């Protein structure tokens, strides 16, 4: 089994497959930790590199669990599957429910320019390019997980604390503790709109709940439509059960 990872939950996915008896090879970015099986980190070598890994590992099934906005890795995985003839399924975390869904950062920038004054902008380490908001001279942008460099920045901006840390935290505690902390971030920065990419991160559920409790709208930039015509599961457990 080859899991091409990066999406939140890939560690649970690999653990479940490993416990189910699969020999798992995982290809993930260096920032992702996987505790089971053979783990290959860093650059994956493109479609040709993945195809070579598939052939050398005698892979029988591929799971595309790449990060939602990693269009290149999705494309390389699909091409490697086609080239080798190995069947593939996909895992993608559920989309964020309850947000205003817009197709891209440009549409989000146009929306907040009309409707907001103090915007919490989660760039997700470069998934959203702050350059798209650089022409807005009126709004103050509170940047979260801003990239180290950008072609341009919003004219008025400042940085804010990172996402709520929900790793290993039960849903009930997120409701009681994490949401209160996130609500304080929104209040302290006078945020009247939130923009984030629909990455499927659990922490975004905390942000959404905190914003809803304050009547603050949340704009979610939609994921690119990059998954091929394969069966897509929205939880690691569903993938494990199916395989």
pLDDT per residue rounded down to tens, the chain (243 residues): 999 989 999 999 999 999 999 999 999 988 888 999 999 998 888 999 999 999 999 999 999 999 999 999 999 999 999 999 999 999 999 999 999 999 999 999 999 999 999 999 999 988 999 999 999 999 999 999 998 888 999 999 998 867 666 554 445 444 567 888 899 999 999 999 999 999 999 899 999 999 999 999 999 999 988 776 789 999 999 999 998
Burial label for 215, CB within 10 Å (0-12, 13-18, 19+), is: exposed
Mention every residue, 6+ apart, whose C-beta is less than 8 A from residue 232: 89, 90, 91, 92
Mention every residue, 6+ apart, whose C-beta is less than 8 A from residue 114: none
Going by C-alpha positions, the residue among 219, 8, 222 that lies closest to residue 121 is: 219
3-state secondary structure (DSSP) of residue 94: coil
Q: Domain segments of the chain: what residues? A: 2-94+224-242, 100-221
The total of other beta-carbon atoms located within 10 Å of residue 53's CB is: 20
- At residue 170, the pLDDT reads 47
Whether 216 and 186 have beta carbons less than 8 Å apart is answered as yes
- At residue 31, the pLDDT reads 83
- At residue 166, the pLDDT reads 53
**Structure tokens of 150?**
């950008």
Interatomic CA distance for residues 41 and 79, integer angstroms:
20
Angle formed at CA 50 by CA 47 and CA 51, multiple of 5 degrees: 85
**Structure tokens of 200?**
């499927």
3-state secondary structure (DSSP) of residue 29: coil
What single DSSP character describes residue 223?
P
**CATH-assigned architecture of domain 100-221:** 3-Layer(aba) Sandwich (3.40)
Interatomic CA distance for residues 31 and 7, integer angstroms:
11
**Structure tokens of 6?**
């990066």
- At residue 165, the pLDDT reads 60
What interhelical angle do 46-56 and 71-84 show, nearest 10?
50
- Is 100-221 the same fold as 2-94+224-242? yes
Q: Report if pTM > 0.85.
A: yes
HSE of 178, CA atoms in CB hemisphere, 13 A: 22
What does R_g of the chain's alpha carbons equal in angstroms? Answer: 19
What single DSSP character describes residue 51?
H
- Which CATH code fits 2-94+224-242? 3.40.50.11190
- Provide the phi-psi class of 215: left if phi over 0, else alpha when psi is between -120 and 50, else beta: left
């Amino acid at each position: 089994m080859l899991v091409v990872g990066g999406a939140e939950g890939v560690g649970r996915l690999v653990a479940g497959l490993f416990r189910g008896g699969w020999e798992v090879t995982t290809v993930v970015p260096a920032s992702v930790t996987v505790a089971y099986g053979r783990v290959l980190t860093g650059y994956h070598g493109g479609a040709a590199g993945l195809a070579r890994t598939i052939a050398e590992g005698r892979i029988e099934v591929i799971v595309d669990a790449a990060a939602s906005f990693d269009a290149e890795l999705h494309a390389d995985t699909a091409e490697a599957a086609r080239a080798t003839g190995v069947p593939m399924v996909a895992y993608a975390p559920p989309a964020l429910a309850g947000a205003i869904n817009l197709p891209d950062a440009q549409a989000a920038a146009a929306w907040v320019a009309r409707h907001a004054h103090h915007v919490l902008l989660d760039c997700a380490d470069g998934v959203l390019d702050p350059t798209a908001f650089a022409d807005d001279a009126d709004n103050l942008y509170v940047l979260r997980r801003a990239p180290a460099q950008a072609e341009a920045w919003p004219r008025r901006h400042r940085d804010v604390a990172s996402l709520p840390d929900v790793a290993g935290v039960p849903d009930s505690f997120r409701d009681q503790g994490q949401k209160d902390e996130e609500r304080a971030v929104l209040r302290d920065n006078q945020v009247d709109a939130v923009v984030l990419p629909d990455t499927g991160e659990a922490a975004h559920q905390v942000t959404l709940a905190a914003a809803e409790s304050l009547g603050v709208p949340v704009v979610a930039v939609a994921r690119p439509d990059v998954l091929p015509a394969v069966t897509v599961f929205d939880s690691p457990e569903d993938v494990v059960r199916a395989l």
